[in-house]
Structure 1
Amino acid sequence: MSLFLWFLTWRPSSALSLLLLSVVGRQTGLEVVQATVCSRWGATRDKSLSQDGDVIIGGLLNLYYILSAVEEGYTRLPSYEPCTSLDIEALKYTYAMVFAVEEINRNSTLLPRVKLGYRILDSCGRYPWSLQGGQLVPLLICAVSSTSIMLSRILGPLSVPVISYLASCPCLSDRTKFPNFFRTIPSDIYQARAMAQLAIHFNWTWMGAVVANTDYGRFAIQVFQEEIQGKGVCLEFTETLRRETIVSDARRAALTIEALTARVILIFCWYTDVKKLFLELAKRNVTNRQFLASEAWSTSDDLLQDLAISKVAIGVLGVAIRSSTIPGFENYLRSLHPSHRPDDEFFREFWQKEFGSCSGTESLEGVQHPFTDTSQLRVAYNVYLAVYAAAHALHSLLSCPNRDSPPGNNSSTCSSAKHIKPRELLQHLNKVNVTTPQGEMFYFQGADIPAKYDLINWQNTPEGSLKLVLIGRVDGFDLHLNESAIQWSTGSNQVPVSVCSESCPPGTRKANRKGEPLCCFDCIPCAEGEISNTTGSLHCERCPSESWSNVEQTACVPRQLDFLSFNETLGITLTTAAVSGAAVTTAVFVVFIFYHKTPMVRANNSELSFLLLLSLKLCFLCSLVFIGRPSVWSCRFQQAAFGISFVLCVSCLLVKTLVVLAVFRSARPGAETLMKWFGPGQQRGSVCLFTSVQIIICAIWLSLSPPVPRRDLGFQGSKVTLECAMASVVGFALVLGYIGLLACTCLLLAFLARKLPDNFNEAKLITFSMLIFCAVWVAFVPAYVSSPGKYVVAVEIFAILASSYGLLLCIFAPKCFIILLRPERNTKKHLMAR
């Protein structure tokens, strides 16, 4: 990138000169080298602008440029065309320097009794032409950052200060390599960071880059890539432009931009290279790309006024050198006239180019011209600051703050304009910290100044050209942006989209595609129980144990409480079955009471039959305790009610079976005394005894380790199951085991008594009922263990109801059939028949 170099040196006469190298050149024979180089490269005329003074500030500017680039074929030695076109902007920079020097000379406090002078030459932006310049010899060049690197290294051993207004290479911030270098333009690190911030801010994750094949382009793209690393931004391509082969390079870059998918293109190049690229894009009618501009071309009038590229360049968003004002500078430029500056060859050429003659009647007053436009002073203000930096360093050096120190103290020695050493001047430049005439704090941080940029946007004008619009600023690392003021390349206020893959919406996560950049990915929905609540999430987060993901997988919501409720279909079905069973049992009970004197009721121990019906009714009703929200008391009561009700029921059946066996055994000789053990009192006592054992088991279980309500956070997804947790499996096993023991005993005895001679043998009914009972509860165990959540409760209720219905139907249905529908069989004669 173009830059400006300042040197503060001394001259051997009484006045201080910043052009020490003229002496060095004569001593080392560099004039011979100069002559050789100039003859080889085709030197231009030796033009300069100078003013004598006590201290001379030397300036080397790119006042002339080559009108068109020459494509080098590498088949012969390179040959550069001479610089013949005068750069109006660079001429304005020249007079910004002159204006600053004259302003300082009028200031009676900054450098009293010291007059500043200047000597300004043209470098043409090329190494060979920089070797021209008469007394300055080939070392005074400042066209690109690499030139500043070379010059600073050469002048470093001499401690000659170099101040640049346009050298932005980050490498020049290294004080160990360039201790004598200063600049009034921020390092490219900051503009590259600002452009990376813009890409991240607007979510441009898929970009292209075109960079100059120079230190400027290479360093800038390197910093940009470092800034976007890990931020989700990728470069689809990086094209380089070389000045020597700009035509073919611009064509290749245009084809790449047209063919690939990135819609936002970053460009770190000089404006002349950008113009070639834009012209190639205009030929191909590529108008839907958003360009990010570096400060090297973001404010170029040459591009803004070119109607041929306006459709391509509309909407450019760029970083620009901050704009400032120089009071009085516009009036100064308008007052310039060749008649007042007879020795100024640069201005005379400008005047002849603009007016065609120097008759004396021409004037810049009231003329609208880029030369007199001071509305946005950017580089010119950097030149102005550089002069003031030199002046303040001289002021500090020539002042005597320790004048009153003891004579033996060396620090009391004061410098004078006749005896200034470059090393001393370098030390004072490092300490510059002043307020500019515009009220701005100015100081060096090593080689650099605090980074400040403008953010600009290229927008349409009624004439068809483009204009600059200020849409924000950069202050160090802070980005301040007015998005509503931006006109995009699409012509609307909608931010252009440039992505390889659309951002993953909340509820999904990124999954990188194998072998492709990180910016190209697929969106995978989060698994159940996991969420992502941000766009572009890399991972899904698991919800806390008490929560679950919503349907969209975007938020964790409290899990629903799930239990067997009276309001749900399953609960209603089981409740209906239980109530129906209890109602049928009650109906049977009523029938038995109504017909209690009939042989059918009296034949099979009516007291035990009524007790059995009561226990069956309790079995049906105890199932209702299992339905509803579990509580401490419901958890305890349900298992006790279940265990005791079924033991009472099975005990009645067991005693009934024993009575049947005893009756038929007593008919045998010598067995009369057997019936004494199975009288009504003994039967009631046996039932109470069997039931008491279960009551004791339940009492011990519930007192030591009872079931308790618990939230089951297992695999039930969005639901938390409320259940009665068995704190002691042993207690539950003893309850079931005791019921099973009685049931098996009853089944065995009933099976033995099934063939006893009788027209109505109840042992057969008990056998069938106990077979059903045992089958149900044997199947219950694996079903209970494997059922999830509330279905555990449903399985237990089903087992209770199924076994209860089995007992009720197998034992009492045949009896009710005879009592109600076959009353002729409900006689003692019929029952006693064999």
Structure 2
Amino acid sequence: MFAIEEINQNINLLPNLTLGFDIYDSCVSESRVIQETMMLLWEKQNPLDEPREGWNVPLLAGIVGDSMSTLSIPMARILGLCNYPQISFGAFDTALSDRQQFPSFLRTVPNEKIQDKAISRLLTHLGWTWVGILTRDDDLGEIAGQHLKEDIMQNGGCVAFLEKIHFHYTLEKVKKIIDVIVNSTVIAIVVYCEEMHLKRLLEIMSAQGIWGKVWIYSLSFTFSPGMFSGNSSKILNGSIGLVLHSENMPGFSNFLQTLHPSKYSKDIFIKQFWKTAFDCEWPTNNSMSTPQLLQTSKKMFCSGEEKLSEVVTSLFELGDLSYTFQAYLAVYAFAYALHDLFQCTNQEPFSEFGKCIKENKDTIKPWQVYWYLRNVHFKTQSEDEVFFNDLGEVPAMFDIMNLQIFPDNSYRLAKVGSYDSRAVLGQQILLDIAAIVWNQKYKQMPQSVCSESCQLGYRKVSIQGQPVCCFQCVPCSIGEISNETAVCLKCPEDQWPNEKQDACLLKVIQYLSYEETMGIALAAASVTFSLITLSIICIFRKYSETPVVKANNRNISYVTLVALNVCFIASLMFIGYPLLITCLLRQTIFGTTFSVVVSCMLAKTITVIVAFKAIKPSSFGKHFDARISSCVIYFCPLIQITICTAWLGIAPPFPELNMRAKADTILVECNEGSHLFFYCMLGYMGVLASVSFVVAFLSRKLPDSFNEGQYITFSMFVFLSVWLCFIPAYMSAEGKNIVIVEVFAILASSAGLLGCLFLPKCYIILLRPEMNTKQYVRGKHACN
């Protein structure tokens, strides 16, 4: 009524044309709906007027209603046969979107699938993955409940229970539903039915003191204070849910306040409304019965002077005008469609007639009204666009409301958010959680989940026989982290989880560096021994003509000392960040120089043996002394050089970032390329050292001025002992400890050779010069 009066007063909309209306009450009855639809279409309003081609007189532009799907469906089937346009302002059934079954049906509300998406995304936005559903016990209710359940599960949620409920249920059936609710751990329950079905359930829950559930109500649920008792309604405190989007309608409150029987004398409802609003009775023509009626009912006469403004807010429940606004939009959609129709905005529907409708309004057809209605496009006062999509629906917009009930039983529906299906995914829900007043049991937003979210560093493990929302939390495996998704992910190869396993950190880069204590100590030892070796070379060079130096074969001694010095210096290549050049050279130089050193030991031993045999008159050893020594020194290292050359040519060593050896560390090391060549190099050196040791051991008792055979034997024993200990230590070490073991073995064996062979000679040269004479040497031989 308000919308039609507003349109009739608008000079820019339908000028020179007046809208009228008939109102019929469906009484929530399918048979009544069918009867009244037939009356609207074909019953004559005036016996003197004749209908024009099926149209009532005056023209019936279309029908607004009904607000329920079960009643709109039979209406739409009848009206579709005649192509009469129908706009519902509350029917949500998805079947009504079928253009073939209901060709002339439109609605200003979305279908239930859109509502299901809105509810499931609201639950996801709140983080509630464990919910229950109460749906009305009829075919449409059961189907709608299943659709909602599927949508919730598609969004990652779980439904703990789906129970049917109806206001016809017995007390026992209602108590069974309450048992399901009480025994479930869900906090959030979706109410997918009308409010009357929930009445008895809430009353029993209130009597039993069952609180703490958060109710999520759908569009079909309307909170009416008169429907529930004071205590049972308080169970709904803190509920949130969807209502159809509504806007302010200027002048509507004033319109309600000015309602009066005298203003609408033909309205059959106004006097009954007045009686209910002010609890009075209208005087009747029967003067005898009226006093008796008043005496028994203790009511006053209705004078018509009562002030409706005092009861408007409480009587009309102006806090929720969602359905009112949808009916308001439906009337305006008809008005704009008729306006376009009579203004000939588009002549496409009339092309077969060849003329515009305004030239001959008597030729209007219902399908032509529907065509303009299908293409109507206008804006509300808040600049929201209104149009019908391909399904004959206005794009969904919902207001998210919070029901706040106060101790004095007064209540308020506060808007706390909105849902706009036209927005991009992820921005459809706008919600001010801080503005929500929750159930009195909770001081902050409750959580409705089957299992608490896993902490960072943990992952979900499903519980057999339980929904996916019910799970256990177990720590992530070594080398993995988990974020908010509770899914364990491996860190990149160069990273490692932190202590909480919620973030990846760069792995520690490890190698034997010059900055650490062990690296400094080994480097210092290497340099020290190298300086000592150089000092011995200088001593031998200075005293090269003395008997001690001559008796030890000066040339072999010089080669040995130089090779040992190279060994000491080469050990520095094992320290520091491995480079390609150091990886290529360090093992090969170490193996080759040690082969030279051991070959010199063997040559010295052979020299001692040959020198002893040369004393005999018949011996030819003295002719082969120098040649044999030279052959040993040249030939034995040549085999090692061949092995190392083949190694460098076939599978050379290279620097490598080893991320597998230690989970939290990147080992910067030299990959030997081929372990076969590496062990061949060590094996040959071991064989050469063993031969030298055996020969030296056998010659240890041969007469010699300075016990050279014994010194060689002892030095080779030290050498072999070091490297025999090296092998198990090398095999069991890891990371930079491998390098430490090898450097220590190189330094220890080299230092052992240096000490055993040359320190006794230096002692004689520097501290016992009386022993460094020919007389001493000859005298000693004479004694022998």
- The answer to whether the 8 Å contact 2:349/2:371 transfers is no
Aligned to 1:503: 453
- The answer to whether the 8 Å contact 1:287/1:311 transfers is no
Aligned to 1:747: 693
* Cα displacement string for residues 481-512 of structure 1 (whole angstroms, at most 9, x for unaligned residues): 22221112256663211111222233333222
Quick check: 1:357 aligned with 2:300? no
Aligned to 2:395: 450
* Cα displacement string for residues 249-270 of structure 1 (whole angstroms, at most 9, x for unaligned residues): 4433322222211111111111
Equivalent-residue separation in structure 2 for 1:162 and 1:696 (angstroms): 100
Partner residue of 1:652 out of 600, 609, 614: 600
Equivalent-residue separation in structure 2 for 1:153 and 1:408 (angstroms): 27
Aligned to 2:57: none
Partner residue of 2:623 out of 654, 668, 676: 676
Aligned to 1:554: 502
Task: Please give the residue correspondences for 1:528-567 in structure 2 after superposition, counting only pairs within 5 Å.
Answer: 528-532=478-482, 534-538=483-487, 540-567=488-515
Secondary structure (helix, strand or coil) at the match of 2:310 reads: coil
Give how far 1:200 is off. Answer: 0.9
Partner residue of 1:253 out of 151, 173, 177: 177
Equivalent-residue separation in structure 2 for 1:169 and 1:585 (angstroms): 100
Quick check: 1:162 aligned with 2:112? no
Aligned to 1:666: 614
- The answer to whether the 8 Å contact 2:167/2:199 transfers is no
- The answer to whether the 8 Å contact 2:462/2:471 transfers is yes
Aligned to 1:473: 418
Give how far 1:657 is off. Answer: 0.8
Residues 307 and 732 of structure 1: is their aligned pair in 2 closer, same or farther, counting only changes over 3 Å? same
Partner residue of 2:435 out of 485, 509, 516: 485
Secondary structure (helix, strand or coil) at the match of 1:561 reads: strand
Partner residue of 1:427 out of 364, 371, 375: 371
* Cα displacement string for residues 431-450 of structure 1 (whole angstroms, at most 9, x for unaligned residues): 22234577653222232112
Aligned to 2:286: none
Quick check: 1:327 aligned with 2:271? no
Quick check: 1:307 aligned with 2:230? yes
Equivalent-residue separation in structure 1 for 2:398 and 2:256 (angstroms): 25
Secondary structure (helix, strand or coil) at the match of 1:237 reads: strand
Give how far 1:653 is off. Answer: 1.0
- Aligned-residue RMSD, C-alpha: 4.4
- The answer to whether the 8 Å contact 1:334/1:363 transfers is no
Counterpart amino acid of 1:535? E
* Cα displacement string for residues 746-779 of structure 1 (whole angstroms, at most 9, x for unaligned residues): 2343344356577986445534543553465466
Equivalent-residue separation in structure 1 for 2:718 and 2:346 (angstroms): 117
Aligned to 2:58: none
Report the more deviating stretch, 490-499 or 169-178: 490-499
Equivalent-residue separation in structure 2 for 1:427 and 1:558 (angstroms): 67
Aligned to 2:324: 380
Secondary structure (helix, strand or coil) at the match of 2:445 reads: coil
Residues 231 and 537 of structure 1: is their aligned pair in 2 closer, same or farther, counting only changes over 3 Å? farther
Equivalent-residue separation in structure 1 for 2:455 and 2:115 (angstroms): 32
Counterpart amino acid of 2:151? E
Equivalent-residue separation in structure 2 for 1:486 and 1:599 (angstroms): 106
Counterpart amino acid of 2:506? P
- The answer to whether the 8 Å contact 2:719/2:749 transfers is yes
Partner residue of 1:284 out of 208, 211, 219: 208
Q: How many residues align?
A: 732
- The answer to whether the 8 Å contact 2:109/2:394 transfers is yes
Equivalent-residue separation in structure 1 for 2:303 and 2:515 (angstroms): 106
Equivalent-residue separation in structure 1 for 2:545 and 2:478 (angstroms): 66
Quick check: 1:262 aligned with 2:186? yes
Aligned to 1:189: 113
- The answer to whether the 8 Å contact 2:66/2:89 transfers is no
Equivalent-residue separation in structure 2 for 1:100 and 1:112 (angstroms): 16
Report the more deviating stretch, 141-150 or 234-243: 141-150
* Cα displacement string for residues 547-598 of structure 1 (whole angstroms, at most 9, x for unaligned residues): 3333333333333221112444554564576567668878998999999999
Residues 682 and 755 of structure 1: is their aligned pair in 2 closer, same or farther, counting only changes over 3 Å? closer
Partner residue of 2:267 out of 328, 338, 344: 344
Partner residue of 2:20 out of 113, 117, 127: 117
Quick check: 1:526 aligned with 2:526? no
- With the length of structure 1 as denominator, give the TM-score of the two structures: 0.75
Residues 605 and 144 of structure 1: is their aligned pair in 2 closer, same or farther, counting only changes over 3 Å? same
Unaligned runs of 5+ in 1: 1-97
Partner residue of 1:722 out of 668, 673, 680: 668
Aligned to 1:175: 99
- The answer to whether the 8 Å contact 2:658/2:667 transfers is yes
- The answer to whether the 8 Å contact 1:192/1:221 transfers is no
Give how far 1:401 is off. Answer: 6.0
Give how far 1:519 is off. Answer: 0.8
- The answer to whether the 8 Å contact 2:342/2:357 transfers is no
Equivalent-residue separation in structure 2 for 1:468 and 1:402 (angstroms): 43
Residues 340 and 441 of structure 1: is their aligned pair in 2 closer, same or farther, counting only changes over 3 Å? same
Equivalent-residue separation in structure 2 for 1:520 and 1:403 (angstroms): 61
Equivalent-residue separation in structure 1 for 2:185 and 2:407 (angstroms): 32
Give how far 1:644 is off. Answer: 4.4
Give how far 1:226 is off. Answer: 3.6
Give how far 1:459 is off. Answer: 2.2
Partner residue of 1:200 out of 93, 101, 124: 124
Counterpart amino acid of 1:562? Q
Residues 415 and 240 of structure 1: is their aligned pair in 2 closer, same or farther, counting only changes over 3 Å? farther
Counterpart amino acid of 1:447? G
Secondary structure (helix, strand or coil) at the match of 2:2 reads: helix
Give how far 1:118 is off. Answer: 2.8
Equivalent-residue separation in structure 1 for 2:724 and 2:403 (angstroms): 85
Give how far 1:173 is off. Answer: 1.4
Equivalent-residue separation in structure 2 for 1:309 and 1:402 (angstroms): 56
Give how far 1:302 is off. Answer: 3.7
Give how far 1:129 is off. Answer: 5.5
Residues 246 and 821 of structure 1: is their aligned pair in 2 closer, same or farther, counting only changes over 3 Å? farther
Give how far 1:674 is off. Answer: 1.5
Equivalent-residue separation in structure 2 for 1:666 and 1:819 (angstroms): 27
Give how far 1:204 is off. Answer: 0.9
Equivalent-residue separation in structure 2 for 1:832 and 1:584 (angstroms): 35
* Cα displacement string for residues 633-689 of structure 1 (whole angstroms, at most 9, x for unaligned residues): 544553354234323321321121111211232244521x3213325x985786477
* Cα displacement string for residues 365-417 of structure 1 (whole angstroms, at most 9, x for unaligned residues): 43133345646532122222222333344444455568999998546566967
- The answer to whether the 8 Å contact 2:214/2:239 transfers is yes
Aligned to 1:367: 310
Aligned to 1:791: 737
Equivalent-residue separation in structure 2 for 1:633 and 1:764 (angstroms): 40
Give how far 1:195 is off. Answer: 1.7
Residues 148 and 690 of structure 1: is their aligned pair in 2 closer, same or farther, counting only changes over 3 Å? same
Secondary structure (helix, strand or coil) at the match of 1:240 reads: strand
Equivalent-residue separation in structure 1 for 2:650 and 2:577 (angstroms): 23
Equivalent-residue separation in structure 1 for 2:205 and 2:782 (angstroms): 117
Equivalent-residue separation in structure 2 for 1:738 and 1:577 (angstroms): 27
- The answer to whether the 8 Å contact 1:100/1:388 transfers is yes
- The answer to whether the 8 Å contact 1:132/1:138 transfers is no
